[in-house]
Structure 1
Amino acid sequence: MKNIVVVNNPANWSLELPGVEVVSARSYLSDGLYSKMRRARVFNLCRSYKYQSNGYYVSLLAEARGHRPLPGIMAIEDIKSQTMVRFVSEELDKEIQKALKHIVSDDFTLSIYFGKNLAGRYDKLSRQLFMQFQAPLLRAQFVRLNDHWNLHAISPISANEIPQDHKPFVIEVARKYFEGRRLPGVKKDDTRFDLAILRSEKESFPPSDEKAIQKFIRAAENLDFYVEVIGKEDYGRLAEFDALFIRETTSVSHHTYRFARRAAAEGLVVMDDPESILKCTNKVYLAELLNRNGIAAPKTLIVSEDNSGRIEPEIGLPCILKQPDSSFSQGVVKAENRQQLKEMLVKLFNTSDLLIAQEFLPTDYDWRVGILNGEPLFVCKYYMARKHWQIYERSKDGKTYSGKAESLPVNEAPEAVLKTALHAANLIGNGLYGVDLKQVGGKVYVIEINDNPSIDSGFEDVILKDALYNKIMKEFLRRIEVKKSPNRN
């Protein structure tokens, strides 16, 4: 893949880099040679990325030509967005305070060259900012207010703005970047598409264990995907991929939702999409959705401080209280009596203005139906932890215990369970969902609809084995091909 550096005026470019073609913005925009070029990485070092400037159009046309621009259009919009600057400042707050704690003045400017700074002490912060904003040369401005540092602004550095005494360093880091073992976004020549799998090694209860992740990777590679496991620091690289598979517990107030939104805006196939995350992770929304569509659920009340007195007469005791964004049994409590109910409400209202109160339906197990694109994928029974009312039990010493899981063929699951699960999931979308249900007597109740359901080796894949991973990857492939089809409306 060809490396092209685009600048306003090549005469001002004094950095000699092997294997790199330096061209003017006007040439890149108007010369037919570049519009016909099939594969290229375009490093946009123009003076400005202002809307409708040459710098803006270089990245815009690079994307239209199927080239890989750095920065891409979304990254350019992020650089110009004060909202994004504030968000990144909050996200990187710990590292910002650590890196700048020795600075005496109340303002500081950090020059970032391909993720590096001349002073090694700023390398980690420089790398993180580079991954967030993804421009080759950046200037980050920080201000200190009330003894707390904040990122104030981020802007590109054009080629002719590099100080003379910085140029040897820039040449060195640029050379290493271009000649590295693998530049971000470089895939094998014989692969068709790029797939990113987002996960965190630090997560206590990830949706997929390491063995399952490896099975997803093998299934994708068998379909000619290049696959890379990425982390939260790779936000700025999303435009390098054709699809994003989120294998990290999602939440709206979390980087997973931001990744999903950015990927969708970049035109990637995303599983699960931001709308599904938004709907599934909020139990207030789900309660209203199920009620309005006549889907059976335990007696449920959306609770505020004003109507909390209705819980006992309408729902009864014991009852279940849930935070709107609870997951993996966290943020879900059981009130056995009036005193417990009062104490738990005080605690939960500290984190949310609305809660869910739900009828307690004791069962030995919950059904989980995995659904992909409106079709049942797997069926499991998740048994309650021993002598506990939930699947997971967290002890006071921090240990977690869970009940056993039993998988069975889809065609052996009760028809009412499958039908109800499909009805519920179809209200959300056509992504990958896990619908939790209880069966009491002859009636089936939907407990919740989960985006990004658990798929662990030895559990959900017991029946289909490798075919489970193949089906999901084939759906990614189908969606990408539809998106890239020239006949698509």
Structure 2
Amino acid sequence: MSGIVVVDQRADWPVDIPGLEVVTAWEYLTQELHTRARRLRVYNLCRSFAYQSIGYYVSLLAGARGHKALPEITTIQDLKLAESPSIINDEIEALIERSLGRIESSQYVMNIYFGENLARRHERLARALFNLFPAPLLQVKFAYKGDEWRVESLGPIALGEVPASHMEFLFEAARDYFELRRSPRTRRESARYDLAILVNENEKDPPSNPRALKMFEKAAEDLGFDVEFLDKSDYGHVAEFDALFIRETTAVNHHTYRFARRAAREGLIVVDDPLSILRAANKVFLAQLMERHRIPQPKTLLIHSRNVREVADVLGFPFVLKQPDSQFSKGVIKVDTPAELKRVAGDMLERSDLIIGQSFEPTEYDWRIGVLDGQPLYACRYFMAKDHWQVVKHGESGGKIEGNHETLAVEDVPQKVLSIALQAARAIGTGLYGVDLKQFGKVVKVIEVNDNPNIDHGVEDLVLKAELYKKIMAYFLKRLEARTRT
């Protein structure tokens, strides 16, 4: 994907950066060369982004032409909203306090150029704000109120408003941004689409191990994708891609959801899509959804502070309490006594006003059926950890013990297990899911649906091998080609 820097006058941008062409706004808006161009990145550095100004139309029409603009028109509009300062998350609020703590005045203005600030001590804060509101030139005004710093306003700053003393730094920041982002890899001419894979190298239990990620990369490239791995610091670059595949454990109050939400808003094909994350990440929602669709699940009770005393009478000891956003067997606790109920439910209800209680139904193993686009993809049986009632046994010191696994061909799975798994997945959406089920003879019950299922080399791919990765990448390709035809 080629790139252009759009300015009001060529003299506004005297910097020569390899691989980037400088054009005026009028050239971009009116010349057929740019009107009909495909796969173009547009870096909008016009002097004004006021409503219906030339700069406004550059970003607006970039979207209409299928170009990737920075800033996107949605970013320009988001920054104009009065509530923009209120969406700064807790992580950035902590950065604000650390970054501005030594400033003695009650006001501070920060200009951010391509994610960088003149003061090195503000480097992390500048990058975080750029990732949240990806605009090349951003101005943030802070005010010290009460006993803390708060964002008073933030918005895009036009090139004409950059102080003359900052211009040299701006050009260097731009050069760093363009060269660092594009120099590490050379795009294959045969590639038709750009795929971003979001990962976290520091995650202890990622949904795909390194070998599996390599297999995804190869499968995607074989189908005509150019692949780039992103981490949480790359939020500002999401709009540069055609598709996003999240291979980091997802959660709602988390950067993975923000990535998915932004990618969906920018028109990317996304797995996991934000709606699937919202639905699958909360066990309260899942329990109610299964009930609504009459999909069998263990006897389930919605628990709150007013009915805790009734739980044992309804479910009978032992039973299982579940934190709504629990993952990897954590936050899922078997309760054997009234004392345990009081303690565990009390702790959980301090974090969530609603939790889930389910009857304890032990089995030798849990089924996991991978579902993609409403069809079965793979099948595994995960056996319980030794001397434990769950697949994973977590130790107090942070270690864990996992049970064995067995991967089967989909055609060897009991038909009822497949049927109920597909019903549960379709209740969530049409993306990639892992449905966990328990089987008691002919009785099959859904335990949960995962929007971000594990796909590890040496486990889930033992039957299909490379074909498993190809099927998932082919889903992205099918969705992208369908959109192009439309």
TM value normalised by structure 1: 0.93
Mapping of 1:413-432 within 5 angstroms? 413-432=413-432
3-state SS of paired residue (1:448)? strand
C-alpha distance in 2, partners of 1:267/1:203?
28
Match for residue 262 of structure 1? 262
Residue identity matched to 1:160: G
Aligned length: 485
The structure-2 alpha-carbon separation of the partners of 1:131 and 1:195, relative to structure 1 and needing over 3 Å to count, comes to same
Match for residue 56 of structure 1? 56
**Cα deviation digits, residues 264-303 of structure 1 (max 9, x gap):** 1111111121111111111112112212222211111111
Structure 1 position 167 matched with structure 2 position 134:
no
Q: 114-123 or 276-285: which moved more?
A: 114-123
C-alpha distance in 2, partners of 1:196/1:340?
45
Mapping of 1:468-479 within 5 angstroms? 468-479=468-479
**Cα deviation digits, residues 389-408 of structure 1 (max 9, x gap):** 11111111111111111111
Contact 1:378–1:460 (CA under 8 A) maintained in structure 2? yes
**Cα deviation digits, residues 364-420 of structure 1 (max 9, x gap):** 111111111111111111111111111111111111111111111111111211111
C-alpha distance in 2, partners of 1:213/1:418?
27
Structure 1 position 436 matched with structure 2 position 433:
no
Residue identity matched to 2:16: L
Q: 183-192 or 466-475: which moved more?
A: 183-192
The structure-2 alpha-carbon separation of the partners of 1:170 and 1:294, relative to structure 1 and needing over 3 Å to count, comes to closer
Q: 242-251 or 351-360: which moved more?
A: 242-251
Contact 2:41–2:240 (CA under 8 A) maintained in structure 1? no
Aligned-residue Cα RMSD (Å) equals 2.2
C-alpha distance in 1, partners of 2:176/2:259?
28
Q: 248-257 or 313-322: which moved more?
A: 248-257
Mapping of 1:17-416 within 5 angstroms? 17=16, 21-180=21-180, 182=182, 187-416=187-416
Match for residue 5 of structure 2? 5
Q: CA deviation at 1:25?
A: 3.1
Contact 1:200–1:231 (CA under 8 A) maintained in structure 2? yes
C-alpha distance in 2, partners of 1:162/1:6?
16
Residue identity matched to 2:309: G
Contact 2:95–2:125 (CA under 8 A) maintained in structure 1? yes
Contact 2:13–2:22 (CA under 8 A) maintained in structure 1? no
Residue identity matched to 1:100: L
Residue identity matched to 1:265: R
3-state SS of paired residue (1:330)? coil
C-alpha distance in 1, partners of 2:430/2:178?
40
Match for residue 448 of structure 1? 448
3-state SS of paired residue (1:327)? coil
Residue identity matched to 2:445: Y
**Cα deviation digits, residues 135-159 of structure 1 (max 9, x gap):** 2222122222333223332222222
The structure-2 alpha-carbon separation of the partners of 1:113 and 1:314, relative to structure 1 and needing over 3 Å to count, comes to same
C-alpha distance in 2, partners of 1:441/1:2?
58
Q: 442-451 or 111-120: which moved more?
A: 111-120
The structure-2 alpha-carbon separation of the partners of 1:38 and 1:294, relative to structure 1 and needing over 3 Å to count, comes to closer
C-alpha distance in 1, partners of 2:183/2:484?
24
Residue identity matched to 2:109: T
List 4+ stretches of structure 1 deviating above 6 A.
183-186
Q: 39-48 or 14-23: which moved more?
A: 14-23
C-alpha distance in 1, partners of 2:94/2:186?
31
The structure-2 alpha-carbon separation of the partners of 1:41 and 1:449, relative to structure 1 and needing over 3 Å to count, comes to closer
3-state SS of paired residue (2:108)? strand
Residue identity matched to 1:388: H
Residue identity matched to 2:140: A
Q: CA deviation at 1:327?
A: 1.4
**Cα deviation digits, residues 134-183 of structure 1 (max 9, x gap):** 22222122222333223332222222222222222223333444455716
The structure-2 alpha-carbon separation of the partners of 1:127 and 1:186, relative to structure 1 and needing over 3 Å to count, comes to farther
Residue identity matched to 1:355: I
Match for residue 461 of structure 1? 461
The structure-2 alpha-carbon separation of the partners of 1:25 and 1:297, relative to structure 1 and needing over 3 Å to count, comes to same
- Give the unaligned 5+ runs of structure 2: none
Contact 1:42–1:69 (CA under 8 A) maintained in structure 2? yes
Contact 2:7–2:13 (CA under 8 A) maintained in structure 1? no
C-alpha distance in 2, partners of 1:87/1:29?
33
Q: 224-233 or 154-163: which moved more?
A: 154-163
3-state SS of paired residue (1:306)? coil
**Cα deviation digits, residues 463-482 of structure 1 (max 9, x gap):** 11111111100111111111
Contact 1:316–1:359 (CA under 8 A) maintained in structure 2? yes
Q: CA deviation at 1:22?
A: 4.4
The percent identity for this pair of structures is 50
The structure-2 alpha-carbon separation of the partners of 1:155 and 1:309, relative to structure 1 and needing over 3 Å to count, comes to same
The structure-2 alpha-carbon separation of the partners of 1:174 and 1:345, relative to structure 1 and needing over 3 Å to count, comes to closer
C-alpha distance in 1, partners of 2:440/2:55?
63
The structure-2 alpha-carbon separation of the partners of 1:265 and 1:18, relative to structure 1 and needing over 3 Å to count, comes to closer
Contact 1:385–1:402 (CA under 8 A) maintained in structure 2? yes
Q: 376-385 or 39-48: which moved more?
A: 39-48
Contact 1:47–1:156 (CA under 8 A) maintained in structure 2? no
The structure-2 alpha-carbon separation of the partners of 1:186 and 1:99, relative to structure 1 and needing over 3 Å to count, comes to farther
Residue identity matched to 2:228: E
Residue identity matched to 1:144: Y
C-alpha distance in 1, partners of 2:123/2:474?
40
Q: 406-415 or 78-87: which moved more?
A: 78-87
Residue identity matched to 1:465: K
TM value normalised by structure 2: 0.94
C-alpha distance in 2, partners of 1:67/1:185?
21
Contact 1:112–1:137 (CA under 8 A) maintained in structure 2? yes
C-alpha distance in 2, partners of 1:181/1:239?
14
The structure-2 alpha-carbon separation of the partners of 1:254 and 1:169, relative to structure 1 and needing over 3 Å to count, comes to closer
Residue identity matched to 1:436: D
